Amino acid sequence: MKSEPDYTTHLPGGHHWSLRLRRGTTLTLTAQHADSNVGLLCYNPENLLERLNLPDTLKCQHTFKLTQGHCLYSDMGRIFASITHDDLGWHDNVGGNLMPQHLLTKGWQPVSYQQGHNDWTRTGFDAFLVELAKYGLGRRDMAANLNLFARVESDDEGKLRYVPGHCQPGQSVTLRFEMDTLVLLHTCPHPLDPSADYPRRGVDIALGTTEPPTQDDPCYRSRPENARGFANNRLYHLGL
């Protein structure tokens, strides 16, 4: 990847964003606050029925967490993106989205747009719905989302526990996109975040470009299944 990004911006806490990213693009997200959270969904812009499949992503890589060396799979067995850099070592795949009903159960006073304008209390669910609508998609098209920067652990009884302090300011994660991908992001709080008040924690976004991976690439070599995923991508790009 080039040392200087091609584009940078800041996504404030409690906001959302989407963009079609071309194959060979890198996306680097940098936390500006402790306990940041970035919800992420991926879709194939050429066939919006193809989307991020986290159960397959975890199953084929034999993991409960995602970090450097792992790939994000579609429900067609192709690789949307690879994680090429990660300061945190763990990103949550099971916590899901903050829902509207969670605001009251968590004691976070809902603030409407009419009351707070751009500082209203968005939920991850509603944020994704807004971005999905821009591409003719809706509630039924919302897949299970990745929560970057967050860590959720499971105990021996299967109970989930959010880990406060896992993310610190300045930590970053980089995704390299292996096919054209429609990327949806939000910076709404994690549904298990124990904060007393609705937290607003933004992230910096940097886009760059990089060379395509080779068979010596760490993400290619991390699991035999990933080699097959990259082979599926090659066949897809041949158009056969």
Q: Which amino acid is at 191?
A: P
| Surface-to-core class of residue 98, CB atoms within 10 Å of its CB (0-12 exposed, 13-18 middle, 19+ buried) | buried
What is the average per-residue pLDDT within 38-60? 97
- For 50, half-sphere exposure in the C-beta direction (CA atoms, 13 angstrom radius) is 17
Question: What pLDDT score was predicted for residue 220?
Answer: 95
For residue 235, give both structure tokens.
């066949």
Average confidence (pLDDT) over 121-144: 96
Beta-carbon contacts of residue 195 (< 8 Å; ≥ 6 apart): 35, 189
For residue range 73-125, list pLDDT tens digits in order.
999 999 999 999 999 999 999 999 999 999 988 989 888 778 877 778 999 99
Q: Residue 8 pairs with which residues in a beta bridge?
A: 206
For residue 233, is it left (φ>0), alpha (ψ between -120 and 50) or beta? alpha
Q: If you average pLDDT over every residue of the chain, what do you get?
A: 94
Q: Average pLDDT for residues 145-158, to the nearest whole number?
A: 94
The length of the chain in residues reads 240
State the pTM of this model.
0.95
